[in-house]
Amino acid sequence: MLALQSLGGGLLGALSQAAVLAGALLLAGVVLAFAAFAYKQLRGGVEWPDEGEDDEDVERGDASEEWKYY
């Protein structure tokens, strides 16, 4: 601790300011991510298509078109 005090607090002061700045940026990022998540949820979240919609355009293939697993 005496070595840091002999530097006049310059190195320790700079490190503490960098830590405060990094913490503030991290907190701002967390708040922004939460706001984006809340906005998506309030706008309706994930919208799934209806399963019964447009069934007439879909055709079932025959057995030769199915995947083969070995």
Residue 10 · residue 18 · CB < 8 Å = no
Largest CA distance in the chain: 83
Position 41 scores a pLDDT of 87
Answer for the pair 11, 4: CB distance below 8 angstroms, yes or no.
yes
pLDDT for 4 equals 47
Instruction: Report, as an integer, the average pLDDT of 7-15.
Output: 78
DSSP-based three-state secondary structure for 6: helix
pLDDT by residue (tens digit) across 16-56?
999 999 999 999 999 999 999 999 888 887 676 765 555 56
Exposure string (b/e) for 12-26, b if CB count within 10 Å is 16 or more?
eeeeeeeeeeeeeee
pLDDT of residue 44: 80
